[in-house]
Amino acid sequence: MPRPAITPNQNPERSSPPFNALAARRLRAALGMRPEHVAYGLRASYGMPYVTADLVAAWERGTTRPTGRELTALASVLWCSPDELVGRAQVLRDHRVARGLAPEDVARALGIDLPVYLDMEEHGTWRGTERQAAALAELLDLALPVLLTVTGRAGRLSELLREAVTTRWQASVRPVGKMLTSLDRRLVEVTLQELHQEYREHQERTAEAPQRGDYGREFLDRILDHFWTAIESRTGRAQ
């Protein structure tokens, strides 16, 4: 049975990836195509009989977004890669779609049952092993901070870092290192010690001039940024 038409204000998939409407419009114009040409390509080559010129125009206006499958097909019609049409990726699904991969592809590559992978993608809760997380990072080309975010572990790292700078940093080396296995242990030690010292200095500034704000609290609020900046400065590359 044919899929029902989608009006500009509807989208049956509630988890459509972020879409760069401006990029889609520019790419189409550069090819000398009109929305009806794009719609025809999606209907004729990708089995999407419901796609009309109006729907393509709605995508380009940003009043609705293509689903992951539609975005991948649209990229082919516009002779570009899917990641050129994806807006800023925020969750695991966004990064997968940007790479033009189906959930089955990722689940198979990681050795995870498809229903389990889909559940992790839907809820942002990682239940795989560290080895599987490393494989995911390689498959989707994810930097370490991004990997932690999309697998729902950035919050836990933030908690550990706050404990490190506000109490004894030495006690946090092991749990932080266990979470960030790709980082050298010595690098983790030096970074935590450095952040601990910085926090103490911010606390002293607050004590000296409390009317100017709580420098220590501001430092803790951005602890993840401070951590990754410190790592980058010591390794000479972005994580």
Could you read off the pLDDT of 19-45 as tens digits, one per residue? 888 889 999 999 999 999 999 999 999
**Contact call for residues 199 and 230 (beta carbons, < 8 A):** no
pLDDT range class, residue 15, cuts 50, 70, 90: low
Per-residue model confidence (pLDDT) at position 98: 79
pLDDT digit string, tens, across residues 39-64: 999 999 999 999 999 999 989 888 78
Q: Closest Cα partner for 171 from 188, 187, 156?
A: 188
135 contacts: CB under 8 Å, gap ≥ 6: 109, 110
Per-residue model confidence (pLDDT) at position 47: 92
Mean pLDDT along residues 221-230: 92
**What letter does residue 111 receive in the DSSP assignment?**
T
Backbone angles phi, psi at 76, to 5 degrees: -65, -45
Pick left, alpha or beta for residue 191 (phi over 0 → left; psi -120 to 50 → alpha; otherwise beta): alpha
CA 67 to chain centroid, in Å, comes to 17
**Contact call for residues 95 and 88 (beta carbons, < 8 A):** no
**Contact call for residues 9 and 63 (beta carbons, < 8 A):** yes
| pTM tops 0.85, yes or no | no
Q: Which residue has the higher pLDDT, 217 or 113?
A: 113
What are the C-alpha distances in Å from 42 to residues 2, 20, 32, 140? 14, 18, 16, 26
